[in-house]
Amino acid sequence: MLFLKARLLDIDLGNNGVIVNERDIVGTEYYPQDRVLVESSKGSFIGVLYTTKKMVNEGELGISRDIIEGIEDGEEVRLRHAPRPKSLKYIKKKMDGQVLKPYEIHTIVDEIVQEKLSNIELTSFIVSTYIHGMEMGEIVEMTKRMGETGERLQWERHPVVDVHSIGGVPGNKYALITVPIVASAGIVIPKTSSRAITSAAGTADVMEVLTRVDLDAQEMKRVVEATNGCLVWGGSVNLAPADDIIINVERPLSIDPQPQLLSSVMAKKIAAGINYTVIDIPVGSGTKIKNEREGYALARKFIELGERIGIDVECAITYGGQPIGRAVGPALEAREALMALEDPESAPKSLIEKSLSLAAILLELGGVAQIGSGVDVAKDILYSGKALEKFKEIVIEQGGGITNSEDVELGRYFEDIPSPKDGYVISVSNRGITDIAKEAGAPRDKKAGVLLHVKRGFKVNRGDTLYRLYSSSKERLKSAVKLARRIHPVRVEGMVIKRVNKF
């Protein structure tokens, strides 16, 4: 135990961080990043120990002014090791490849949400499940508990449906079309989306070009009650918050162990009060799922998990070998979605087809279309302009904004990338397009991105524009053009790929 004098600071390092002079802990059993229990006359708390050379003097403990009410500068405080989190034992079981019992999984989820686990402990859990996997029974328990630990939405009308993409394909803005089609048919579809994590635009980023997306649970409810639908950012609704904490460990490792993928998606459905959901599983080079066989295996797991937690799941294995539609980047995608609602005939077929197919499944699941006739019903709603009207309602209810594609502003700097030769487009790289859009500034620069003029199979002549880059910054545009010239995300070849002659 260390006896120190409180030194109140205007700092917040998260996890109730406290700061001690490094000379005070040399040779003791205390180390930076230990979880410590700090006791004062005004109360105690558990925090994380950081060290400083100078910020606080020897014998002092730097404490954020907010942590304990009424604590005074110079007051004596005691610091000792916090009790280890209960889940450490269970994490070690998983490290040793054992199957965890329900209450063991509940303890881990609870302590994740209560922020009782350090990065070291949390990483050990994630890496262990990555290596050893989890049985479906464990995934069910994890999903249920995660779904119970944050905000929970309840709805008066049923069924409540949802559509969710596991991601990996750029330009995937279908939700802006699918959601209003379904809502327009009278079905409740309270859609939450994420912002970009590694992509150039998450659905929430795209929608934010047109209207507010950071609604809390109450505001979201109001919008859905008024319009049947919404398109908001999941982050501010606080559904299944364990997921957000787990992602912070997965992101730097670029791993997404399947048990966490399954439970993170489905826990949010539990919390959002969803009855039916369609899971979009894009398959193809550069997506998360390499081939159809893997896609089917994952689909079966989603369906089984859904059955065991009481949510009806249907999966759509979709083509993800190149971007959906032609626009990649928040404003470009928002504009493309609005244009597709305004004039479906002129919109890219890949976008229309995907949006209609997913809507069709939901219309059939929701009981407003007979099996097999979902696409026709969806088409009617889209082509009649009803989907556009519904979308405008949603935008306005959320606090918007822009309801006309002509009002969407794109980056004021742009440059066209021409084809280096005559031939056919043989591939459009998901990864390459994403990287270039990000180099141009997306998703933070909402007006930055890539607009494809061609897709796979198009015939082009030398000098034809392959795609146009947009950015709000001249410098970033230049940097994106440079990257584009280096990685060639759109590949053009003549029909004769290589001549082999007799000599």
d(CA 128, CA 231): 35
Smaller CB separation from its own copies, 27 or 70: 27
CB 492 within 8 A of CB 426: yes
Q: Which residue has the tokens 């905000």?
A: 151
* φ, ψ dihedrals at 349, nearest 5°: -60, -35
> What is the closest distance, in whole angstroms, from the C-beta atom of residue 54 to its own copies in the complex?
5
CA 45 to chain CA centroid, nearest Å: 32
CB 361 within 8 A of CB 374: yes
Q: ω before 489 within 30° of 0 (cis)?
A: no
Please name which of 50, 266, 324 lies closest in space to residue 142, comparing C-alpha atoms. Answer: 266
Smaller CB separation from its own copies, 38 or 189: 38
The CA-based diameter of the chain, rounded to the nearest angstrom, is 93
> What is the closest distance, in whole angstroms, from the C-beta atom of residue 298 to its own copies in the complex?
18
> What is the closest distance, in whole angstroms, from the C-beta atom of residue 272 to its own copies in the complex?
21
Please name which of 337, 335, 329, 334 lies closest in space to residue 443, comparing C-alpha atoms. Answer: 329
> What is the closest distance, in whole angstroms, from the C-beta atom of residue 130 to its own copies in the complex?
6
Smaller CB separation from its own copies, 98 or 285: 98
Smaller CB separation from its own copies, 248 or 384: 248
CB 145 within 8 A of CB 109: yes
256, 280, 435, 445: the active-site residue: 256
Full DSSP string of 275-323: SEEEEEEEESTTSSB-SHHHHHHHHHHHHHHHHHHT-EEEEEEEE-SS-
34 is catalytic: no
Query: Binding site: residue ranges?
Result: 168, 194-199, 203, 264, 288
Smaller CB separation from its own copies, 11 or 396: 11
Smaller CB separation from its own copies, 22 or 464: 22
Query: Binding site for AMP: residue ranges?
Result: 168, 194-199, 203, 264, 288
* φ, ψ dihedrals at 355, nearest 5°: -60, -40
Question: Angle at CA 191, nearest 5°, toward 204 and 396?
Answer: 70
> What is the closest distance, in whole angstroms, from the C-beta atom of residue 484 to its own copies in the complex?
18
Q: Which residues bind its own copies (CB under 8 A)?
A: 9-14, 19, 22, 27-29, 31-35, 50-55, 66, 88, 92, 95, 97, 118-121, 123-124, 127-128, 130-132, 195-198, 205, 208, 214, 233, 248-249, 251-255, 443-444
Please name which of 218, 217, 226, 152 lies closest in space to residue 188, comparing C-alpha atoms. Answer: 226
> What is the closest distance, in whole angstroms, from the C-beta atom of residue 70 to its own copies in the complex?
19
Query: Which amino acids are annotated catalytic?
Result: 256
